[in-house]
């Protein structure tokens, strides 16, 4: 009985034997490969002490400046804060406040080596790493989350579209520029400092707005496509401006700078977070520059492989973004971030799956948000497979979330002991796996045919002789058991292709068509067996079929 309940909670898609039980996961070690390395701590030019020193220097060296700043005072405008969340629940509270621009590394250190994640060595991997940000003085902070004020700041040069220019009206722009330049100089953060008069003149350059275009290489289409819906950050010291890419991959940030800024991408949105492996938040550090950041992620190559980490993250992000935020065809959403549900964690594992073995997982145990709920192991797979697999696993979580009672019963009936042993009820497992297979096909086909303007696309593209979802044989491509579990039943209910006629013997007889994926989901809700799912499909009106044809279609497998 105990093992059965574990199976209900820890169902692993495709019986992924590589997923360890929670008590066997090493929570004291973290893989360092790909992790950002910090250099020395920089002296803070925006601290009250250094800004006051800069003001004194300018008054002593320039009589005119002194007369113009008689009533000018250095007072705290912002606080530089280090949050210390003890668990994912506390981190989730921080993330729910959209005014907190959080970084998982300190903002006043040199970056010795860029990486795609960072985790402080002081923090064990069973809890989130520290979070850093600057906040305006007087902002109410979460009272239950430990924090440390690292510095009181005077930031006179913020220029956000959301501000009302009060500071600009009170303090002349020339004074601001001169003051910030001097503060950078005395803290050794201004490498090209010349004489004061020359530098003051060059500092009063025009403001610029961070913007650009983000594309990712698709190795199925052999061209770049836009990355949609990702937030790009541009940071200069403690000030960050943000912009989100549109359907053309174009973004424009919500503020301006006079000097150069550090670009970056954090591969997450409010409802999901992509992990570099298991624990590290995946990110992309761009250049420090003045001007647009246009980037093509991944490189054109002649093989059907994904070779770049950021390319991998971008494709996984695109699938998650599409399922959470774009056209989802009337389907239920995967679990959404809320007080009762943590942000979905998606592990982007750099493990290449083998087509004769299984590789991905969607778990439903209450792991308190520490561990990923989805594991993707499509490293070096074609772009459509990476996208489609992510959709597949999200569809599992959506199924679980929309009807937990029926889903638990399906898992209980399908598996004796999850992960380690084969199924004992193929027809019940077929309900569990055929549903996300159909959802995967709908989303991926729509992406390539509609979003990427390739109307002749058929999914999946490789290896088509094994995995073409509209050309599945009743007796398997690698094993009969697999084809009897990952059936084409969902696709067959929608398309108008009778495989037995168009593709020959060994394929299902499919005289059914006309259903939508949304209608099929309504039939799935409450279904606890293959036959119950079949009978609930019959209750959905369709002018293109009758009950005998539905019975015939379902009987191809069971």
Average pLDDT value for residue range 87-104: 90
Instruction: Check residue 176 and give its pLDDT.
Output: 86
- In this structure, of 30-34, 240-244, 342-346, the range with the lowest mean pLDDT score is 30-34
- Give pLDDT, residue 502: 87
Residue 496 backbone class (left: φ over 0; alpha: ψ -120 to 50; beta: rest): alpha
**Mean pLDDT of the chain, nearest integer:** 83
Q: What pLDDT, on a 0 to 100 scale, did the predictor assign at position 61? A: 85
The answer to whether 227 and 316 are in contact (CB under 8 A) is no
| Average pLDDT rounded to a whole number, residues 220-240 | 96
User: Which positions ≥6 away from 148 have C-beta within 8 Å?
Assistant: 81, 82, 84
More confident residue, 371 or 141: 141
What is the rounded distance in angstroms from the CA atom of residue 353 to the CA atom of residue 311? 17
Indicate the pTM of the whole model: 0.88
Q: Higher pLDDT residue, 194 or 475?
A: 475
| 225 neighbors 449 (Cβ within 8 angstroms) | no
Hey, which of 156-170, 252-266, 375-389 has the most confident mean pLDDT? 252-266
If pLDDT is split at 50, 70 and 90, which confidence band does 481 have? low
Question: What's phi and psi for 345, nearest 5 deg?
Answer: -105, 125
Beta strands, E only, 396-456: none
Q: Looking at residue 250, what is its pLDDT?
A: 98
**Cβ atoms within 10 A of the Cβ of 178, count?**
23
Contact by Cβ (8 Å): 201, 215: no
176 vs 321, more confident: 321
Q: What b/e sequence results for 6-34 when a residue is b if at least 16 CB atoms lie within 10 Å of its CB, and e otherwise?
A: bbbebbbbbbbebbeeeeeeeeeebeeeb
Q: What is the mean pLDDT of residues 392-403?
A: 94
β-strand pairing of 344-348 with 272-276: parallel
C-alpha–C-alpha distance, residues 552 and 270, integer Å: 44
pLDDT at 114 over 90: no
> Between these two residues, 311 and 462, which has the higher pLDDT value?
311
Tell me the sheet residues that pair with 47: 153
How far is C-alpha 190 from the chain's CA centre? 35
Q: Among 11-20, 115-124, 189-198, 443-452, which range has the highest average pLDDT?
A: 443-452
Rg (CA), the chain: 28
Task: Give residue 6's pLDDT.
Answer: 38
Q: Over the stretch 27-52, which tens digit does the pLDDT of each residue have?
A: 333 344 578 999 999 999 999 999 99
**Residues pairing with 257 in the sheet:** 208
Supply 495's token pair.
């398309």
Q: DSSP 3-state assignment of 152? A: strand
pLDDT at 75: 94
Q: Is the pLDDT of residue 85 over 50?
A: yes
Distance from C-alpha of 466 to C-alpha of 472, rounded to nearest angstrom: 8
CA angle (522 as vertex; 516, 525 as ends), nearest 5: 140
The DSSP result for 168-236, as a single string, is HHHS-HHHHHHHHHHHHHHTT--TT---HHHHHHHHTPPPB--EEEEEEEETTTTEEEEPPS-EEEEEE
Does the pLDDT of residue 194 top 80, yes or no? no
pLDDT of amino acid 7: 40
Per-residue pLDDT at 369:
55
């Amino acid at each position: 009985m105990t093992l059965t309940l574990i199976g209900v909670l820890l169902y692993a898609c495709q019986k992924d034997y590589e997923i360890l039980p929670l008590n066997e996961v090493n929570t004291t070690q973290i893989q360092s490969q790909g992790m950002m390395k910090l250099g020395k701590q920089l002296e803070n030019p925006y601290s009250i002490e250094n800004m006051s020193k800069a003001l004194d220097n300018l008054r002593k060296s320039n009589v005119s400046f002194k007369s113009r700043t008689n009533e000018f005072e250095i007072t705290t405008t912002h606080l530089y804060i280090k949050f210390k969340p003890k668990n994912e629940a506390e981190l989730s509270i921080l993330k729910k406040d959209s005014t907190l621009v959080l970084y998982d590394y300190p903002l006043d250190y040199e970056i010795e080596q860029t990486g795609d994640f960072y985790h402080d060595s002081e923090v064990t991997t069973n809890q989130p790493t520290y979070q850093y940000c600057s906040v305006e003085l007087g902002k109410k902070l979460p009272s239950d989350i430990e924090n440390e004020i690292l510095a009181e700041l005077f930031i006179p040069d913020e220029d956000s579209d959301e501000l009302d220019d009060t500071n600009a009206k009170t303090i002349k722009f020339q004074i601001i520029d001169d003051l910030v330049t001097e503060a950078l100089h005395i803290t050794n953060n201004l490498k090209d400092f010349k004489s004061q008069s020359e530098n003051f003149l060059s500092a009063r350059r025009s403001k610029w707005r961070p913007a650009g275009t983000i594309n990712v290489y698709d190795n199925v289409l052999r061209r770049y496509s836009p990355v949609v819906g990702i937030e790009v950050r541009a940071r200069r010291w403690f000030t960050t401006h943000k912009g989100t890419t549109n359907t053309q991959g174009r973004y424009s940030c919500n503020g301006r700078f006079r000097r150069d800024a550090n670009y970056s991408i954090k591969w997450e949105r409010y409802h999901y977070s992509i992990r570099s492996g298991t624990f590290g938040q995946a990110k992309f550090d761009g250049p420090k520059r003045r001007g647009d950041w246009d980037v093509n992620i991944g490189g054109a190559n002649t093989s059907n492989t994904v070779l770049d980490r950021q390319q991998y993250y971008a494709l996984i992000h695109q699938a998650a973004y599409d399922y959470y935020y774009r056209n989802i065809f009337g389907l239920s959403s995967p679990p959404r971030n809320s007080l009762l549900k943590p942000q979905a964690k998606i592990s982007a594992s750099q493990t290449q799956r083998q087509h004769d073995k299984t590789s991905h997982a969607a778990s439903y145990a209450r792991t308190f948000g520490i561990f990923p709920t989805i594991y993707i192991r499509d490293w070096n797979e074609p772009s459509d497979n990476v996208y489609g697999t992510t959709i597949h696993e999200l569809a599992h979580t959506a199924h679980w979330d929309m009807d937990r009672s029926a889903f638990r019963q399906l898992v209980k009936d399908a598996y004796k002991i999850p992960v380690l042993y084969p199924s004992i009820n193929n027809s019940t497992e077929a309900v569990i796996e055929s549903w996300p297979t159909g959802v995967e096909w709908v989303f991926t086909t729509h992406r390539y045919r509609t979003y990427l303007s390739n109307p002749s696309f058929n999914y999946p593209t490789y290896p088509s002789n094994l995995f073409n979802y509209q050309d599945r044989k009743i007796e398997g491509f690698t094993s009969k058991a697999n084809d009897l579990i990952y059936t084409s039943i969902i696709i067959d209910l929608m398309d108008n292709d009778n495989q037995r006629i168009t593709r020959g013997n060994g394929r299902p007889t499919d005289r059914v068509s006309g259903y939508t994926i949304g209608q099929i989901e309504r039939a799935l809700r409450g279904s606890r067996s293959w036959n119950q799912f079949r009978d609930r499909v019959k209750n959905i009106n369709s002018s293109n079929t009758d009950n005998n044809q539905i019975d015939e279609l379902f009987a191809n497998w069971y």
